[in-house]
Amino acid sequence: SQQGEEDPQALSIQEGENATMNCSYKTSINNLQWYRQNSGRGLVHLILIRSNEREKHSGRLRVTLDTSKKSSSLLITASRAADTASYFCATDDINTGANSKLTFGKGITLSVRP
Amino acid sequence: NAGVTQTPKFQVLKTGQSMTLQCAQDMNHEYMSWYRQDPGMGLRLIHYSVGAGITDQGEVPNGYNVSRSTTEDFPLRLLSAAPSQTSVYFCASSYSPGVPGEQFFGPGTRLTVL
């Protein structure tokens, strides 16, 4: 069963705007990760946030984690056409270890219009 | 480093045929895994390995076998292909199952079963 569920399923924005994507999960976790997938390619890791962290930044990316609500958000600021891709959140299971058995959501399709 | 490599990139099988999807990594990663990606379903874990000689089942293991005789290689075997196994298959690796960190994905194998 899917652990992570992203929201919205699809997002279309204008270049330069910010994109916010949400992820909810069901069980207790050690870490939550976000990945990007360009069409026809493998997934690329974007950022990892640990369960004891609330916010993390990496370049134009900002991730928040609320373990009480079992939710995370990914913010991409000043979006570019090259950000057009699918984005996935992935969670581990606190019972199986820090990095094993990642469970992925169904993904969010982001389209950035030039 | 080549990273995670997968062969073949594309494969067409007839129902009942068997084949092996190859996966190799040159990063000395302990943890390796296989996912399948279907439209609207995100990625689902098939099998994973925490080190040479150790494998375990993921969410959707039926119809697939794996072995891990070396650190570098983690082949996925389809015993008797079925149309339901039409999918894109991704292999991934990471440093250690106990250490939080990114998973590195291969480029994928697109499999069609007729």
A76-108 pLDDT, tens digit each = 999 999 999 999 999 987 777 656 778 899 999
Is B104 within 8 Å of A45 when comparing Cβ atoms?
yes
- Chain B residue at shortest CA distance from A107: B42
pLDDT digits (tens, 9 = 90+) for A54-77: 999 999 999 999 999 999 999 999
Chain B residues within an 8 Å CB radius of A93? none
Q: What local confidence, expressed as pLDDT, does residue A85 receive?
A: 97
Chain A residues within an 8 Å CB radius of B48? 100-101
Quick count: other Cβ atoms within 10 Å of Cβ B53? 11
Is A43 within 8 Å of B94 when comparing Cβ atoms?
no
Q: What residues in chain B have their Cβ under 8 A from chain A's Cβ atoms? A: 4, 31, 33, 35, 40-45, 48, 50, 58-59, 90, 92, 94-108
C-beta of residue B6 within 8 angstroms of C-beta of residue B107: yes
Q: What local confidence, expressed as pLDDT, does residue A22 receive?
A: 96
**What is the DSSP pairing of strand A10-14 with strand A55-58?**
unpaired
> How far is Cα A41 from Cα B6, in angstroms, rounded to an integer?
12
Residue A3: C-alpha distances to residues A29, A75, A100, B83, B99 (Å) = 10, 21, 14, 26, 20
- Chain A residue at shortest CA distance from B98: A98
Is A1 within 8 Å of B94 when comparing Cβ atoms?
no
> How far is Cα B49 from Cα B47, in angstroms, rounded to an integer?
7
C-beta of residue A110 within 8 angstroms of C-beta of residue A87: yes
Chain A residues within an 8 Å CB radius of B106? 42
Ordered per-residue pLDDT tens for chain B, 114 residues: 789 999 999 999 999 999 999 999 999 999 999 999 998 778 999 999 999 999 999 999 999 999 999 999 999 999 999 999 999 999 999 987 777 788 999 999 999 999
Tokens coding A15: 């270049």
pLDDT digits (tens, 9 = 90+) for A4-48: 688 888 999 999 999 999 999 998 898 999 999 999 899 999 999
> How far is Cα B108 from Cα B30, in angstroms, rounded to an integer?
20
Higher local confidence (pLDDT), A1 or A62:
A62
Residue A76: C-alpha distances to residues A54, B3, B50, B113 (Å) = 17, 27, 33, 38
Tokens coding B14: 């007839």
Q: What local confidence, expressed as pLDDT, does residue A98 receive?
A: 57
> How far is Cα A20 from Cα A74, in angstroms, rounded to an integer?
6
Is A101 within 8 Å of B106 when comparing Cβ atoms?
no
Is A104 within 8 Å of B43 when comparing Cβ atoms?
yes
How many residues are given for chain B? Answer: 114
